[in-house]
């Protein structure tokens, strides 16, 4: 009897030891997280995650105030009195082409970014939301795009949708659209001055059955280089006017400036595909990521060795979260992704995600946007993600590319390029790791006017 009690007592203390050991581990992890987070905050209260002091200015928090317009309608004072008062939201003002504050979202020609000037206070500065001219003096047409860097020639190539045409609706319920013009390509040595290389994949004028017939849809073109076939491979979202085709299109070229030969379209893995991107890992393996199942989830899978098709391997991620516009990058062995919600042309809140493997599991880390104001952060600065560009020589520093869509005039949509920094503790609990984040925070900083560090320019 005493032996049994002794054994029970021993088991009891063993259980207590295990419990307190686990509690101790939890407290140590929590303390580490707090110290790690505190290390990222400077004496001025501003977040400084990067080890490079020359980019601290990019991590400063800038505020942005938008004055709301006065009441509009005075045509029927009695009706106005009877009607319940409702304040117009900034999102409604953004979508209203007749808004009194539209110039704040879409500045006019007086404030264009013109790289031909080459000197003065505005030289080499990005102004998110302003009209951006190429070296010929024309507005850049490369929406929903991505950037390919060719190391051999130290040249950046920017591919995107050319929407230089009238905006219309295919039918009453259809989203705003333009006829397919094609995929534009621009080249640059410095990410600020862009030369127009022309239409590298053109729309089809006569063949109604062609995927790229002008009455169809071509969106989000991305180009990567295959080291084995020595081909430049372009993937894109192709669709019909009613968005029922929901497929990907593939094209190839021997040169980054084209022309690209269109090959075929398909539904990857047999599933519908809309907003999509491709990502080439430093291992040489390329992946496709696309919105599927009525945009309720994302699918991800490796491409074949020649990048011209998908393999049979596919993983469903972010199931039921209704995310689109994926933009991926890799930092110190961790994979990161920025996505947007599915609200049509209306801007919404971006989310950052992370994973140890491209195939997941992927964890959601919260909204990466900092600065501006609350509505700016909740609308991704009134824009939608499209690509993330690594800044060579500055580990953990990236250029975030987004589109500020103008549904009333899609050709006048603007580009929102901002600094993206990886560092510091995340600010939301994670799903798979017992609430303890294993990765650094992703931060996108709002700036009305900013430029890349002098050290970066000196290396170009």
Instruction: Show Cβ contacts of residue 167 under 8 Å, excluding neighbours closer than 6 positions.
Output: 176, 177, 178, 407, 408, 409, 410, 411
Across 96-105, 189-198, 432-441, least confident range = 432-441
Query: How confident is the model over 255-311, as pLDDT tens digits?
Result: 999 999 999 999 999 999 999 999 999 999 999 999 999 999 999 999 999 999 999
In a domain, 8, yes or no: no
Per the structure, how many domains does the chain have?
1
Confidence of residue 431 (pLDDT cuts 50, 70, 90): low
18-75 residue pLDDT tens:
555 655 554 455 444 444 433 443 333 344 445 555 566 777 778 887 776 665 544 4
Residue 206 scores a pLDDT above 50: yes
What percent of the chain lies above the pLDDT cut of 90? 67
Check whether 388 has a pLDDT greater than 90.
yes
pLDDT mean across residues, the chain? 85
Query: Coil, strand, or helix at residue 75?
Result: coil
Specify if 187 maps to a domain. yes
Q: What is the pLDDT of residue 67?
A: 74
Cis bond upstream, residue 181 (ω within 30): no
Q: How far is CA 108 from CA 23, 131, 232, 338, in A?
A: 59, 7, 36, 29
What is the side-by-side strand order in the sheet with 334-341? 323-331, 334-341, 351-355, 363-366
DSSP 355: E
HSE (CB half, 13 Å, CA atoms) of 123? 8
Question: Residue 77's pLDDT is what?
Answer: 53
For residue 169, tell me if it sits in a domain: yes
Q: Which two tokens stand for residue 251?
A: 């094209």
pLDDT in tens, 331-350: 999 999 999 999 999 999 99
Q: What is the pLDDT of residue 313?
A: 98
Distance between CA atoms of residues 189 and 16, nearest Å: 63
User: Looking up tokens 């400084």, which residue turns up?
Assistant: 48
Q: What does the pLDDT read at residue 47?
A: 44
pLDDT at 118: 63
Q: What is the 3-state secondary structure (H, E, C) of 207-252?
A: CCCCCCECCCEEEEEEEEEECCCCEEEEEEEEECCCCCCCEEEEEE
The values of phi and psi at residue 110, to 5°, are -65, -20
- Residue among 52, 25, 47, 23 at smallest CA distance from 37: 47
∠ at Cα 389 (387, 395), nearest 5°? 140
51 falls within a domain? no
The residue-averaged pLDDT of 247-260 equals 98
CA-nearest of 209, 215, 233, 236 to 223 is 233
> How far does Cα 305 stand from its chain's mean position?
26
Please tell me the predicted confidence (pLDDT) of residue 54: 53
Higher-confidence residue of 455 and 302: namely 302
**Domain contains 80:** no
Q: Tell me the per-residue pLDDT of 103-160, one tens digit each, with 9 for 90 and over.
A: 999 999 999 999 988 656 668 899 999 999 999 999 999 999 999 999 999 999 999 9
Place of tokens 């990567």: 224
On whether residue 411 sits in a domain, the answer given is yes
pLDDT bracket for residue 215 (50, 70, 90): very high
Domain membership flag for residue 40: no
Q: 228: which 2 tokens?
A: 């084995």
**Encoding tokens for residue 329?**
């990058």
CB neighbourhood size of 102 (10 A): 18
Is 294 inside a domain boundary? Answer: yes
What radius of gyration, in Å, describes the C-alpha atoms of the chain? Answer: 25
Distance, CA of 61 to CA of 45 (rounded, Å): 10
What CATH number did the domain enclosing 130 receive?
2.115.10.20
At 395, the pLDDT band (50, 70, 90 cuts) reads confident
Burial of 154-176, coded b for 16+ CB within 10 Å and e otherwise, reads eebbbbbbbbbbebeeeeeeeeb
Mean pLDDT for 437-460 is 84
Q: Residue 368: which domain range? A: 100-458
What pLDDT is recorded for position 24?
57
pLDDT, position 459? 75
- 256 contacts: CB under 8 Å, gap ≥ 6: 148, 150, 155, 157, 185, 187, 223, 225, 232
Q: pTM for the whole thing?
A: 0.86
Q: 6-30, pLDDT tens digit by residue? A: 444 444 445 555 555 655 554 455 4
């Amino acid at each position: 009897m005493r032996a049994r009690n002794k054994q029970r007592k021993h088991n009891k203390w063993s259980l207590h030891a295990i419990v307190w050991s686990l509690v101790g581990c939890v407290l140590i992890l929590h303390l580490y997280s707090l110290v790690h987070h505190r290390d990222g905050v400077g004496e001025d209260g501003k977040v400084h995650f990067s080890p490079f002091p020359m980019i601290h200015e990019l991590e400063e928090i800038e505020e942005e105030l938008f004055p709301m317009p006065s009441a509009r309608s005075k045509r029927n004072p009695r009706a106005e009195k009877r009607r319940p008062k409702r304040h117009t939201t900034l999102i409604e003002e953004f979508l209203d082409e007749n808004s009194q504050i539209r110039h704040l979202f879409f500045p006019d020609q007086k404030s264009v970014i013109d790289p031909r000037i080459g000197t003065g206070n505005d030289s080499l500065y990005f102004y998110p939301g302003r009209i951006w001219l190429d070296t010929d003096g024309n507005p850049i047409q490369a929406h929903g795009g991505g950037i390919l860097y060719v190391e051999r020639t130290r040249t950046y190539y920017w591919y995107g949708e050319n929407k230089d045409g009238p905006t219309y609706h295919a039918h009453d319920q259809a989203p705003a659209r333009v006829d397919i013009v094609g995929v534009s390509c621009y080249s640059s040595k410095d990410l600020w001055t862009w030369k127009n290389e022309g239409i590298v994949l053109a729309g089809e004028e006569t063949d109604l059955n062609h995927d790229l017939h002008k009455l169809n849809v071509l969106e989000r073109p991305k180009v990567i280089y295959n080291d084995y076939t020595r081909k430049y491979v372009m993937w894109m979202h192709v669709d019909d006017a009613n968005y029922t085709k929901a497929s990907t299109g593939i094209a190839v070229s021997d040169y980054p400036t084209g022309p690209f030969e269109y090959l075929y379209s398909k539904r990857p893995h047999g599933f519908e595909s809309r907003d999509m991107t491709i990502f080439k890992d430093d291992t040489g393996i390329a992946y496709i990521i696309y919105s599927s199942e009525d945009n309720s989830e994302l699918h991800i899978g490796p491409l074949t060795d020649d990048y011209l098709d998908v393999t049979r391997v596919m993983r469903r991620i972010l199931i039921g979260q209704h995310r689109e516009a994926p933009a991926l990058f890799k930092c110190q062995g961790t994979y990161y992704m920025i996505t947007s919600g599915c609200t049509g042309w209306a801007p919404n809140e971006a989310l950052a995600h992370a994973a140890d493997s491209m195939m997941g599991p992927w964890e959601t880390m919260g909204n990466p946007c900092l600065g501006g104001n609350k509505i700016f952060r909740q609308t991704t600065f009134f824009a939608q993600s499209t690509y993330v560009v690594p800044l060579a020589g500055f580990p953990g520093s990236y250029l975030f590319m987004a589109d500020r869509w103008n549904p009333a005039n899609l050709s006048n949509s603007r580009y929102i390029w901002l600094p993206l920094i990886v560092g510091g503790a995340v600010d939301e609990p994670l799903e798979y790791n017992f609430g303890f984040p294993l990765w650094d925070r992703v931060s996108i900083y709002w700036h009305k006017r900013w430029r890349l560090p002098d050290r970066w320019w000196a290396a170009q």
